[in-house]
Chain A
């Protein structure tokens, strides 16, 4: 989606078409000739994995929608109908419900990789913010999708989350009523959530196109965090190099995905969601899906509802400001020894919040959740701004090729052969 295309159509038809709509050239320059840094590790395969997961969710979702009934009295039974009577309905549903979890697993790997290697820093701020928007849309889509089976956790999860909006002063109550289409979560809520759950993935796809476009303008970051200086020495062509690596990464990822779908399909779901929604009976514990737990813990750590909601949303919104909160000129944690320690501490804080989000509220729980929530915000608001000013970073390699050479010292590092040139063929 950038750069001049090196694609030269060979056939007369190809030439005729290319001069009218240069789409083959666009694809060629984006996914064949596109130079990728030669030092990318397997964490960079999650971009391709995420694209695959989005497509997989849309395909399975569209088919499920052919059999699902978005009606409060029928939704639960229609899901059981899919599980029992539709040919391979159980497979489609397990692929879709576990697919959501795998999608989030991949997106967290992708986001934490971005933080570790400083991928949000100039000139990739817009690329990063587009990513945060995709993440937000994903959370909204997943939340609404979880409501559709109309089990107990669907219903009460929807009640808790939509009630958050009622905390907004003055207009909160009206907003909640407007979201519900009534005075509580009910049939109109289910209908609009189904409609939006069908719509949002296509909006995600749209932002993904922008995300990839922005990526291809500024180029990929890499584990050493130094820009490409010499395309021939520092990069390899997207195809076959990155393509093959991505496909291998995807295949390994699919093994994990298949494990969940075929052997532990209900492991990540809540047992309560196999009970039909009952507005008169609150479950003993209302828990969101695992991927939202850290934010749920932050919400519950704060006694005031409005402040809790503000903390919840700012915990997500802060991500968008990372490019400016992190003041260090060095991107990669490889060359930032102190940042690296804080990074892993931050990962531990997120995991800890996630665990707390699934637990019952006790005094010890509230205390732990408050401490971890403070750590979460401190990472963004205190550690990152100060670290850039105080940390002594390690010397950066002069180029990507030098970094690769230094690592494979003794081996045959044949960086002089620039596959980028070959790719022009």
Chain B
């Protein structure tokens, strides 16, 4: 009994500490994306030491609509992000997801007609030969994967010098070192920092700070990045009055890519909440049942 109470107290203290830890739960409360310079960050968080010689700062922590216990995607933002991807990124990068997922109601939520029309603008080569034995080209269908700009990574490397990575899992495939003890707080409720990849990609897109060297990036390890500055102000037209700045483009396209790499996030968090409530109630009931039964033995 006493031991259990000690554990309960200790974990309560730990949770309390986590809540007041830098970049705590406040980050979860603003679903609308503020401009980059207002972004919330762990102000008191020291930059983890990087390897000597190639100093690059840690990306700052941003506020994302999809972070936290109840995080969801902002549909308008994903649609803007898709536009940035479609007009800019897609010139070099592939995004191997089916067109149909773009109509995902918890994702970009395009209408079926929009997705069908979009797919039809692409030419797709059939993977099976037709009755003449030819691999026919045809307009894309919603069930197709979005075709990349190059037929394979080798062709992309031949044209661009280096093959740009596929973007379907790009945000999940990027990180920056959080260091001790921050990585522990990142796992705890209320802090729950799972957007390191998004913050890193966002930082890189905003990290082209040398006007005379378009392949120099403040946040890229070693600073020399193969991708020249991809975004500039006013490059993509927004129809909803959102500012057309690099920072805003970066924020929108990173949100879109986060959705592309984790399209089931909203469903996951929704089911998760039910599971947690169920398990906590179940544990409480089991605890009192166990206590009642053991009374006879003590």
- Is the CB of A205 closer than 8 A to any CB of chain B? no
Distance of B237 from chain A, by nearest CB (Å): 30
Give A247 to B290 CA distance when docked, in angstroms. Answer: 9
Interface residue B139 (Cβ < 8 Å from any Cβ of A): no
In the bound complex, what is the Cα–Cα distance between A274 and B261 (angstroms)? 9
Q: Are B175 and A255 in contact (CB under 8 A)?
A: no
Q: Report the stretch among A164-172, A187-195, A260-268 that lies at the interface.
A: A260-268
- Whether B276 contacts A244 by the Cβ 8 Å rule is no
Do A263 and B97 touch across chains, with their CB atoms under 8 A apart? no
- A412 near B298 with CB under 8 A, answer yes
**0/1 per residue, B168-188, Cβ < 8 Å to A?**
110011110000100000110
Interchain pairs with CB closer than 8 A, number:
110
Bound complex: CA A411 to CA B294 (Å):
14
A255-B280, A412-B298 given; A91·B194 CB < 8 A: no
- Category for how many chain A residues contact B: 35 or more
Residues of B within 8 A of A284 (CB): 221
Q: Is the interface of A mostly helix, strand, loop or mixed?
A: helix
* Stretch touching chain B among A5-13, A56-64, A306-314, A413-421: A413-421
User: Measured between alpha carbons, how far is A77 from B145 in the docked complex, in Å?
Assistant: 12
Q: Which residues of chain A have C-beta atoms less than 8 A from B180's C-beta? A: 355
Question: CA A178 – CA B175 in complex, angstroms?
Answer: 36
B279 and A254: CB pair below 8 A?
yes
Give the residue among B3, B165, B263, B272 with the most A Cβ atoms within 10 A: B272
Task: Check B275 for interface membership: any CB of A closer than 8 A.
Answer: yes
Interface size class of B (residues with CB under 8 A): 35 or more
Contact A83 B264 (CB under 8 A): yes
B283 is an interface residue with CB less than 8 A from chain A: yes
Kindly identify which residue among B186, B264, B276, B282 contacts A267, using a CB–CB cutoff of 8 Å.
B186
- With A251-B286, A261-B272 given, is the CB distance from A42 to B187 under 8 Å? no
Asked if A360 is at the interface of the complex by the 8 Å CB criterion, the answer is yes
* B-chain residues with CB within 8 Å of residue A258 when the two chains form the complex: 272, 275-276, 279
Query: In the complex, which residues of chain B have a beta carbon less than 8 angstroms from the beta carbon of A244?
Result: 286, 289-290, 293-294
- B92 within 8 A of partner (CB): no
If the complex has contacts A251-B286, A255-B279, A417-B296, are A264 and B264 also in contact, measured as CB distance less than 8 A? no
Taking a contact as CB atoms under 8 Å apart, the answer to whether A360 and B194 are in contact is: no
Across the interface, do A360 and B298 meet the contact criterion of CB distance under 8 Å?
Answer: no
A266 touches B194 (CB 8 A): yes
Which chain B residues border A412 with CB–CB below 8 Å? 298
Closest approach, in angstroms, between the C-beta of B21 and any C-beta of chain A? 15
Residues of the A chain whose Cβ atoms lie less than 8 Å from the Cβ of B187: 264, 267
Question: Is B197 located at the chain interface by the 8 A CB criterion?
Answer: yes
Within 8 A of B (CB), among A153-189: none
| Chain B residue, CB-CB nearest to A152 | B173
If A91-B271, A254-B279 touch, whether A274 touches B173 (CB-CB below 8 Å) is yes
Q: How far is the CA of A419 from the CA of B296 in the complex (A)?
A: 9
- Cβ-defined contact, B268 with A262, below 8 A: yes
Which residue of A has the minimal Cβ distance to B286? Answer: A248
Q: A38 within 8 Å of B by Cβ?
A: yes
- Enumerate chain B residues within 8 angstroms of A105, measured Cβ to Cβ: none
Contacts of A247 in B (CB 8 A): 286, 290
- Complex Cα gap A78–B192 (Å): 29
Enumerate chain A residues within 8 angstroms of B298, measured Cβ to Cβ.
404, 408, 411-414
Judged by a CB distance under 8 angstroms, whether B35 is at the interface is no
A271 partner, pick from B3, B168, B174, B264, beta carbons under 8 A? B174
> B279 touching A41 by the CB < 8 A rule?
no
For the complex, what is the distance from the CA of A45 to the CA of B153, rounded to whole Å?
A: 51
Expressed in whole angstroms, the minimum distance between the Cβ of B49 and any Cβ of chain A is 10
Per-residue A-contact encoding for B194-237, CB less than 8 Å = 1, 0 else: 10110000000000000000000000010000000000000000
* Besides A84-B98, A262-B275, A262-B276, 10 other A-B contacts (C-beta < 8 A): A77-B96, A91-B268, A240-B293, A245-B294, A248-B286, A259-B189, A261-B272, A275-B173, A408-B298, A413-B298
Ranked nearest first, the 8 interchain pairs of A and B with the lowest CB-CB distance are A262-B272, A274-B173, A271-B175, A274-B169, A248-B286, A251-B283, A244-B290, A274-B172
* 12 A-B interface contacts by CB (under 8 A): A236-B297, A244-B290, A245-B290, A247-B290, A248-B287, A262-B268, A263-B272, A266-B194, A274-B169, A408-B298, A417-B296, A419-B297
Q: A residues bordering B, Cβ < 8 Å?
A: 38, 41-42, 77, 80, 83-85, 90-91, 94, 236, 240-241, 244-245, 247-248, 251-252, 254-255, 258-259, 261-267, 271-276, 284, 355, 360, 404, 408, 411-414, 417, 419
